Amino acid sequence: MSDILSKILTVKKQEIAAAKALKPYPILLQEAQSAAPPRDFIAAVQNKIAAGKSAVIAEIKQASPSKGVLRGHSSGSAHSFAFVPAEIAHTYAQHGAACLSVLTDQQFFMGSPEYLQAARNACSLPVLRKDFILEEYQIAETRAMNADCILLIVSAFLLECSNPSGNLKNESLERMLRLEQLAHSLGMAVLVEVHDAAELKMALQLSTPLIGINNRNLHTFATSLDTTLELLPSIPSGKIVVTESGIHTPTDVAHMRARQVNTFLVGEAFMRAEDPGIELARLFS
């Protein structure tokens, strides 16, 4: 996974450079500042939890490097369901999702900013832009496309800042704090994602309450809900734990909720279902 992540970040930096050549940062920042008001991502999550329900961040994802095509653009029967972001967003909203997560990375996840915009326009839910954010330019880009929340992946910053001359952890943390501050200044929420205790220690220095724990092992791709459970004792009560990856059955959901983990980011299980919203309702009934 670290090799794949390295490739993704290399491509991402090339994409950022190309985008800057087409639209300078000051112009993009103006667009971000004049975009439609953001929706309150954190309140949407908190309201579900306060009502005694699971807060589901329902993902719209066409493919991934580890799983290939999940939905659409395939002749195989397992992938024959249509990938129409607006329709998927609508059924998610109908069946109780708190928020949406939409992949915008094109090369590795077959995503698109247009998918995010179509999904957001189809419902009233706040939307997370799921991508590999490295620079201020992408923060402005995210708000300009009307997203309401950004994702900061600690492992991406650790890999990006790994150089012999610098202090890896300090440089990574400083960059994340800077990006978080810009996102908040534009009215967006921040979900910071971790995989282990060392990454969690860094993430807790950000001000955001949203702590995502990815249950997928970066080296083996195996998923284990124990990752979330093992990190729980280290997370202060004021934070909102978002468990990511590996949620496939109502038993998985019950296992998490019994430990007071009430926020879930789920994509693959929904994308493989004929109607993703109905599958959401079944999984979280």
What is the average pLDDT across 176-196?
97
pLDDT band at 222 (very low <50, low <70, confident <90, very high): confident
Determine the Cα–Cα distance for residues 88 and 278; give it in Å rounded to an integer. 10
Tokens standing for residue 48? 């579900």
pLDDT tens, position by position, 4-37: 888 999 999 999 999 999 999 999 999 999 999 9
Pick the CATH number of 2-283 from 3.30.910.20, 3.40.50.720, 1.10.3660.10, 3.20.20.70: 3.20.20.70
Sequence ranges of the domains in the chain? 2-283
Cβ atoms within 10 Å of 226's Cβ, excluding its own: 10
pTM of the model: 0.94
pLDDT band at 66 (very low <50, low <70, confident <90, very high): confident
Please say if the pLDDT value at position 240 is more than 50.
Answer: yes
Tokens standing for residue 168? 């890896």
Q: Can you give the pLDDT at residue 75?
A: 43
User: Are residues 58 and 280 in contact, defined by beta-carbon separation less than 8 angstroms?
Assistant: yes
Please say if the pLDDT value at position 119 is more than 80.
Answer: yes
Residue with tokens 């201020």: 136
What is the average pLDDT across 239-263?
96
